[in-house]
Structure 1
Amino acid sequence: MSCFKIPDSLCDELMGMIRNFWWGQKKEEKKIAWLSWEKMCEPKCDGGMGFKNLKWFNKALLAKQGWHLQMGGNFVLYRVLKAKYFSTCDFVHASIGHNPSYTGRSLISAQRLVIEGLRWRVENGANIKIWQDKWLPWRSSHSVVSPKMFLSADMKVTDLTDSTIATWKYEVIDFLFIAHEAELIKSIPLSATLSADKIVWAETTNGNFIVKSAYKLAASLFKSTTSGTTSNAREEKCSRLVMIAWALWNNRNEILHGSEAETQMQLAWLPPSSGSFKINVDGALYPTKNPVGIGVVIRDLQGRLMAALCRKIKAPLQVLEVEAKAYEAGMLLARHLGLQNGLLEGDSLTISNALKGISVPPTSVAAIVEDIHVLGSEIDVVNFSHVRRSGNKPTHIRARQALSFVNDVIWIEEVPCCIQQALIQDVLGL
C-alpha cells in the first residue's frame, strides 16, 4: 500500500470483510450494524472507533513517498524516479505524462495530498512568492488573501524584510495586508542569520511528515459530501455510549497503572563550572500591548554580573517565539562581548529540549534553534539547561521592564538596581 495505489474495488472488499468480522456473531447469523461504518472510521475523540478507511490510508502512505520525492536526496531510487517522471521540475509540479507506468500513476495520485499538506517556513524569504505560495502560520489557510493591488504577482517575501537587522518592515506590511494577515506576518520570528527558506509539512507542529497527519488530511479532503448531515437518534445514542465507554476505560487504566513520573527539574540558579559563564534568558508578553520583552543576564562562577540586556521587540510574537528570540539574543550578546565557554539556560522546557536534541523543535522556532546552534559553535557554548521561573528571577524582571525602554539597553559589569536584590538572593541560596 505504500508503493502502489490499491484499486478502490479491492479496498471496498477488504473493508467489507472487516465490517463482517466486527459485527458478526456466527457465519449464518444476520449481522446488526449498530453504527454506520463511516462513523466507526472516525477518530475515538469524535465518537468513532478509529478504524482506517483503506482508500484514504493508501493515499496517506503514497503521500509519504511523494513527500520524500519532493524533499529530494542522494539515494538511488530518488534519482531514478526523478529522471523518469519529473526530470525538469519537482514532484508537486509533475504531470502524469503519456503512457505512464503503474508506479507513476500511483505516485501522482497522492500529489494533491502532498500539495495540500506542505508550506514554506520563512527564513530569508528569497524563494517564497507572497501571493502564490503557502507560507502563513494559519491552520485554515496558509495562503495570503489580501489583494495584490498594483504589485507584481511574483513579489517575494524577502521584499517585506530588512536584511540588515533581520526584522520585518512593519509599516510596509501594515499598508499592504489586511489587519489579521499583517498581524500573522509580524508574528513570524526571523532568525539572525536569515538562512535559506525551507519546505515543511504543515499538518504537524515540528514540520516533519508523519502518515497519521496525512491520513487526517486525506479524510478531510476526500470525505464524501453526498452523505446526509443528520443521523437518527439510535446512532447518536450509540455514539455517545462508545465515547463514555472509552472514557471509562481510559480512566481505569490511569488509576491502575498511573501516569508517567515528572522529571526532576532545577528549581534554583546554580553557578557555572570554573572558567566558564552562564547566560540566563527569558521572554515576557504584555496583556494589552503588542510589543514583547526580552531579558538576558550573564554571570560568572561567583554570581557576579558580567552583562545584562533588556530589549523590546515590536511584534505580536507568541510565548514560544519570544522565548526562542530570548535564547538567540543571549547568544548574540555573548558573541558581541567575546565570551567563550558558556552555558545557556532559560525557563522554556520546549526550547531547552530542542537545543539538547531531546525533541524536534516546532516549525515556528526551528530556524532560530538552528541559528542558536551555529552561534553556540562560534562562542563555544558547550551545554544547554532548563531552570524553573524561581531560578530565573533576575532575567524575568529584565524582560518585564523592556516595555519602558525604546531601544536596547545593555549593562556591562554594572548591576541594574531593579535586579540587584534578585541577584543577591540567587547567590545566598547556593
Structure 2
Amino acid sequence: MICVSSVNYSVLMNYDKVGPIISGRGLRQGNPLSPYLFILVAEGLTSLIHQAVGRGDVHGARICRGAPEVSHLLFADDCFLFCRASAGEVNHLMNILHTYELASGQEINLAMSEVFFSRNLSHATKENLVSILGVRHVLGTGIYLGLPSMIGRSKKAIFSYIKYRIWKKMNSWRGRALSKAEKEVMIKYVLQAIPSYVMSMFILPSSLIDDIEKMLNAFWWGDGSNNNKGIHWLAWDRLACPKAKGGLGFRNFEAFNMAMVVKQAWNIIQNPELLAAKIIKARYFPRSSLLEASLGYNPSFAWRSIWKVKQILLHGCRWRIGSGERIRVMYDPWLRGNGDRWVSSPQVECVYDLFVKELLIENYKAWDIAKIRNLFIGPVVKDIIATPLISSVKEDKVVEDDIHVFFGCVADRGCWMAAGLSQLLENPAYQDGTVVDRVFEMCRNEDNAMIGRVSSLFWCIWHNRNNKIWNDNIQLPSQVARMAFVVWNEWFTVHQLRRQNIVHVEDPRPVRWEKPGVGWIKCNVDAAFLAGSDITSMGLCFRDTNGQFVADFTQWQQPVYSIVEGEAWGLLHAMKEATHRGFERVQFESDSKLLVDDIHSRRPDNSEFNLIVNDIIFFMSSYVNFEVKFIRRQANSVAHTLARAANSWASFHRFEIIPLCIEHLIVNEMH
C-alpha cells in the first residue's frame, strides 16, 4: 500500500510550481492506478469466497450436471453471489462480507442490494433469509448492466426499453433543428449505437427491429418537430446501402444483429476455457461441438440466438484437420483452396457416413490417394489432396477462412467501403477462388494505383486484426481506411522520389555462397511456382566443408496458397531428407526472410504457415545441430535452379551425382 500512502501532487499556478500536496485520503478519483487498486482489493473478497467453498461452508450454483460451479461474479463494483437457500450458508456469506468490510474499509450498500430466490422455496423461508440479509426481495425482471435479467414470452415487450431510449434521444433538444449532415452524424454515431450492446447478446424480434428502423427513417426525413412529419422518399433498406451504391451507409440492423451474435458464437469456439463457454457447452452440447449442437430442450433465449446464427458461422470458417475423427466428409466444411469448402454432392452412397480420418493412411498422417480416387470424382480428388495435413496439428479445430478474414467479415467489408473500394468487393470477376486467386485477378485487370490501394488496405486490415489480438485495441473501419490511404500515399511519394534520385552504384562486394564450417553440411533450399498451374516444386542441395556436391533432392509438393507456405514446406522436406541421410550437423539456408524470422521468433499464430513452422521447430528441437539461416537469392542460385527445373521432371528425384543444370554453378561456387 506504499503507492497509496506516498502519493503527492504538484500544480502550476501563474507558471510557478506549487506543492507537493500530500493526499490524506489515498488516490484521487481518476487516478490511473485506482481501478487496479480496486481489483487488488476485490481479489481479497474472491479469496475469502473460494476458501469458504473449499471448506464446504458455501456452495455455488450449477445450471446442469457437469457444469462448473459458480460462487460469485464480479463486474466493477457490482457483485453477484450464489449460495444455497439455507440460513447456515447465508450467515457464512454475511460473515465473509463483514470481514471484507473491515479489511477494505468499504461498506456494502444494503439499500442498493437485492436478493432473488428460485421458485421452489416457501414464502416463510424467503422471509427468513431476507431478514438475515437485510436487503429487499426482487422478482428478477428488471434491467441489470443494460440487459434484461429474465426474458419471458413477449420478447418485444421486454426489449421495448431500447426503442424508448432511441425515441427519447431523438426528441431531446439535441435532436431538433438539425441539418441533414448533423442528422447523419447523430444517426450513425448516437442512435445506431444505443442497441449495439443488446444486439451483441440476443437476436432481437424482427418486429422490434422494423419499429426502430421506421423511427430512424422518420427522424431522417422529418422536419425537426416531435411528430417527425415529412415525405419518406426512400425506405430504410435503401438508405442502409453504401454511399457508393446510392445509399447513406446507415446500419442494416438485422444484419448487424446477426453479425454481433456470430462474434459471440465464434468466441465460444475459439476460447473454450472461458466460464461462459464451459457453462453453455455443459448445458447444450456436452459431447459435441457448437457447430454440431441441436437447439435442445427448454433453451434460454441467449442460446436460441447463438444457435440461430450457427449456419452463418459455418459459411465463414472451416475445419483444420488434426486426427480427422470429428470431421464428417460430406456434412462439414473442411476443404481448402476451393470457393466451396464442402465436398460437392451427389457422391457414391458409402461416403456419406465417412469421417476424414478414414481417408488417411492408417497410423500415418497422409492422404490415402488410392482410396480417395476410388471414392470420388476427379475435381473432388484434386481438392482433397490439395488440403494440407500438418503433423503438429493433433486435434480437429474450426478456423476462420481467409476469404472471410479479408472479404466476408462485416468489419472488413466496412473497411472496403470506407476506402472507396466497394466496387471491387462486389465485382463478379473477383468472387471465385481463394484470396490469392482473387488478388491475382485484380492484378491482371486493375491499374497500378488501384492495386497499390488494395495492397495497402489488405495490410491495414491484417494489422488491425493483429492489434486486436495482441493489444486489445481495434480501430473503426473509417480509421483503417484512412491508415491505408496514408500508407499508400507515403509509399507512392517515396518511390517517386527514388526514381528521380536514382544513382547507379556498383556493389563492390557481390553476394556469394559460403562454404560451411569444418564438420558441417550445408543445405540450400528453395521453392518454385509454375504460373497457370497448381504445381509447386522444391529443390535442395547438400554440400560439404569443401563446397563439394554431396546430394540433391527435388519434389513436387502439394498445392500451397502462398509463396511463404511453399518455402516452409520446402525447408521441412529438407530437414526430413537430412535425417533420412543421417546428417547430424546441418546448416539450412533459405532466401525467405519472413520464414527464417518466424522460426527464430517463435511467435504463436493460428495460420497454416505458422503450423508448418511449428513442425520445423519440432525438428530443430530433436536435432540440436540443425541451424536455419537467411541467405540472399544471389547466393541461393543452386537451390533456385533445381526448384525451377523440377517443374519439368518427374515428381520425385534424388541425385547422387551433379545434375547438368547446376554443374556450372557448383563449380563456380567451389572457388
Same fold, TM exceeding 0.5? Answer: yes
Q: Give how far 1:147 is off.
A: 3.6
1:106 counterpart residue number: 305
Give per-residue Cα distances to partners, 1:232-252, cap 9 Å, x unaligned: xxxxxxxxxxx9xx99x9998
1:368 counterpart residue number: 612
One-letter amino acid matched to 1:156: F
Q: 1:312–1:408: 8 Å Cα contact kept in structure 2?
A: no
Which of 621, 632, 648 lines up with 1:377 in the alignment?
Answer: 621
Q: Give how far 1:329 is off.
A: 0.5
One-letter amino acid matched to 2:259: A
Distance in 2 (alpha carbons) for counterparts of 1:291 and 1:391 = 25
1:172 counterpart residue number: 371
Distance in 2 (alpha carbons) for counterparts of 1:150 and 1:252 = 53
Q: Give how far 1:143 is off.
A: 1.5
Query: Does 2:665 correspond to 1:422?
Result: yes
Which of 27, 32, 35 lines up with 2:224 in the alignment?
Answer: 27
Query: Does 2:201 correspond to 1:3?
Result: yes
1:409 counterpart residue number: 654
Distance in 1 (alpha carbons) for counterparts of 2:222 and 2:310 = 41
1:30-69 aligned within 5 A: 37-38=236-237, 41-42=240-241, 51-69=250-268
**5+ long unaligned stretches in structure 1:** 217-242
Q: 1:60–1:215: 8 Å Cα contact kept in structure 2?
A: no
TM-score norm. by structure 2 comes to: 0.47
One-letter amino acid matched to 2:526: D
One-letter amino acid matched to 1:309: F
Q: Give how far 1:395 is off.
A: 0.8
Instruction: Indicate the SS of the match to 2:263.
Output: helix
1:237 counterpart residue number: none
Cα pair distance change 1:108/1:289, threshold 3 Å: closer
Distance in 1 (alpha carbons) for counterparts of 2:659 and 2:641 = 11
One-letter amino acid matched to 2:661: C
Query: Does 2:533 correspond to 1:336?
Result: no
Distance in 2 (alpha carbons) for counterparts of 1:152 and 1:46 = 45
Instruction: Indicate the SS of the match to 1:168.
Output: coil
Cα pair distance change 1:158/1:48, threshold 3 Å: farther
Query: Does 2:283 correspond to 1:84?
Result: yes
Query: Does 2:481 correspond to 1:284?
Result: no
Q: Give how far 1:409 is off.
A: 0.2
Q: 1:353–1:359: 8 Å Cα contact kept in structure 2?
A: no
Give per-residue Cα distances to partners, 1:112-143, cap 9 Å, x unaligned: 32233332123453432222222122554221
1:116 counterpart residue number: 315
Cα pair distance change 1:331/1:24, threshold 3 Å: farther
Cα pair distance change 1:64/1:261, threshold 3 Å: farther
1:131-280 aligned within 5 A: 131-162=330-361, 166-191=365-390, 195-202=394-401, 204=403, 212=411, 257-258=490-491, 268=511, 279-280=523-524
One-letter amino acid matched to 1:296: L
Distance in 1 (alpha carbons) for counterparts of 2:607 and 2:404 = 5
One-letter amino acid matched to 1:58: N
Q: Give how far 1:297 is off.
A: 2.9
Q: Give how far 1:295 is off.
A: 0.7
CA RMSD of aligned residues (A): 4.7
Cα pair distance change 1:311/1:390, threshold 3 Å: same
Distance in 2 (alpha carbons) for counterparts of 1:170 and 1:88 = 32
Distance in 2 (alpha carbons) for counterparts of 1:34 and 1:423 = 76
In terms of fraction of residues, the more helix-rich structure is: 2
Instruction: Indicate the SS of the match to 1:284.
Output: strand
Q: 1:119–1:134: 8 Å Cα contact kept in structure 2?
A: yes
Give per-residue Cα distances to partners, 1:25-66, cap 9 Å, x unaligned: 973698898986545545677776654423222222221221
TM-score norm. by structure 1 comes to: 0.69
- In our comparison, the structure showing a higher alpha carbon Rg is 2
Instruction: Indicate the SS of the match to 1:373.
Output: helix
Q: 2:329–2:351: 8 Å Cα contact kept in structure 1?
A: no
Distance in 2 (alpha carbons) for counterparts of 1:395 and 1:34 = 67
Which of 324, 327, 336 lines up with 2:568 in the alignment?
Answer: 324
Distance in 2 (alpha carbons) for counterparts of 1:302 and 1:37 = 76
2:274 counterpart residue number: 75
Q: 1:268–1:387: 8 Å Cα contact kept in structure 2?
A: no
**Percent identity over the alignment?**
26
The number of equivalent residue pairs is 389
Distance in 1 (alpha carbons) for counterparts of 2:245 and 2:640 = 41
Query: Does 2:636 correspond to 1:392?
Result: yes
Q: Give how far 1:193 is off.
A: 6.2
